[in-house]
Structure 1
Amino acid sequence: MAVLSIGVMLRDFEGFTYNFIKRTFKFPLFFVLLTVFIDDKETGKMKQLQIDYLINKNSKWVILKVDSNTQLKLITEYCEWFACNGFGSFMFQGENIPYIDFYPNVHWDHPTDFPNLNWDKVAT
């Protein structure tokens, strides 16, 4: 398994994150984001852009599937906002992966783990 960590200037006026992901990866892309900033207004935006997502009531994570550049633009804005507030987000490229497999185990004393994820289905 390989992990790519990208650090960008938080005032991303040129859309670096969006452009980098758009030009480097192919759809579908799955994002794992904390629900802390995802309210009714944000879920409304996701529904309007027809972004498939799953929020588990017992978890503090939302799993999103992105299939277009318009959807990607909104979600990269969320990722940047999360980074500005000290939170992380995860992105995966792959096909036929159940949303439920993306729920992570996060602990302060060891690396984040995705115990249900079949890494053979993950392209990156």
Structure 2
Amino acid sequence: MNRWGLALFFVIVLVVSVAGAVIRSPTATDPFFPQVNSSPRPLNSPAATPSPLQPAKIAQSPKVDAERLFSHIRALNFERYRERDRSRTREYLLQTLTRLGWQPQLQQFEGGSNVVAQRAGTDPERGNNSGHSSL
């Protein structure tokens, strides 16, 4: 393609792009794209003044023992490509969860297993705590 052909191509693309933008732009009579009055509100209007919010009541977060958390991270900080390494991880999770009062179980599936743990709650009306991890 010579220079004039390439220039003509870009002019056609530009015209089609501009025409498409003009056709798609909303108009005042367009029922699908009504224009919104975007005039700014005065600062003293009720909509501009936020109403005071009541602080949400949040339950006390449990304290996190950073050293204990990092000890678990250090214990699991290794590659788990081989079955031997994944087995080591499962054993660590099973032993740790049991020591912490949970009742862990393995759920086998094709290609691996999940560690599922339950712990009896202190309020019989609320049921059990449970969690799981896929390994």
Q: Tell me the TM-score normalised to structure 2 length.
A: 0.27
Using CA pairs under 8 Å that are at least 6 residues apart, name the structure with larger relative contact order, 1 or 2: 1
Larger fraction in strand: 1
Please tell me whether Structure 1 or Structure 2 has the larger radius of gyration of its CA atoms: 2
